Amino acid sequence: MNVTAPTTRDARIALAWEVLGTVLDPEVPALSLCDLGIVRDVLPQGDAAGSALEIVLTPTYSGCPATELIERLVIEAIDAAGLGPARVRLQRAPAWTTDWISAAGRRKLRDYGIAPPGALVAGAALPLRFLSRRVVVSTLIACPRCASTDTTQLSAYGSTACKALYRCLACLEPFEYFKPI
C-alpha cells in the first residue's frame, strides 16, 4: 500500500493505523494484527513531519515465536506505505488477553474455521483440572462450520499453544478453538 505523504501528524497516524490493519498475523493469516488487538498504539516521536512513529505492540504471550517476524512485518508495512521512519516498542504489561480480539476478528476466526474464544470474567479464577477426554466441559464450544455445540476436545493443544483441537460430533469435522487467556 503506497500512500501520498500525509500533510498532518494526525493524518499520518490515521494512515498508519489503516496500514497496520492490513498486516496479517503470521500464525492466523485470516486476522490482522489490529483484529487481534496486538497493536496497542501509534505514537509520533516529535513534531517534525519526518519524525519517527513508535508502534506499540503487545505480543499474545511473552514467548511468542512470531514476535520478531511481527515486528519486521510492521516496519516493512509502514515503510512501504511511505509513513516511516518507524520503530516498534514491545509493551508486555498489561498482558494481552483474548478479550482484545475485535468483533470483526472473532467473525474472521469463525469464517477461517477456528472457534473464537469466549469472554473472560474479570477476577474469576480458572482452576487447573486434569480430566479425561470423555468428561464434559461446562463451556460449550460451537463448531465454526455447522454451529453445533455437540463437540469434544481431542487435544488441549492445536497448531499453537494458544489453540486446542476439537471435533464436531454433528458434522464430524475437526477444528481449532482459540483458548481464552
- Non-local (6+) Cβ contacts of 121 within 8 A are none
DSSP label at residue 32 = B
Q: What sign does the dihedral 89-40-85-63 (CA atoms) show?
A: positive
Amino acid in the structure at residue 5: A
Contact between 35 and 101 (Cβ < 8 Å): yes
The model's pTM is: 0.76
Amino acid in the structure at residue 125: A
pLDDT at 138 (0 to 100): 53
Q: Name the residue ranges covered by the structural domains of the chain.
A: 9-90, 114-178
pLDDT at 94 (0 to 100): 93
Cell numbers 503470521: residue = 26
Instruction: Determine the Cα–Cα distance for residues 44 and 181; give it in Å rounded to an integer.
Output: 31
What residue ranges of the chain have pLDDT lower than 50?
128, 131, 133-137
Q: For the segment 56-102, what is each residue's pLDDT rounded down to a tens digit? A: 999 998 888 899 999 999 999 999 999 989 999 999 999 999 999 99
- Its CATH architecture, for the domain 9-90, is 2-Layer Sandwich (3.30)
pLDDT at 155 (0 to 100): 93
pLDDT at 73 (0 to 100): 98
pLDDT at 136 (0 to 100): 43
pLDDT at 65 (0 to 100): 85
pLDDT at 135 (0 to 100): 44
pLDDT at 5 (0 to 100): 54
The C-alpha cell at 165 is 483441537
Q: To 10 degrees, the CA torsion angle through 67, 72, 75, 76?
A: -140
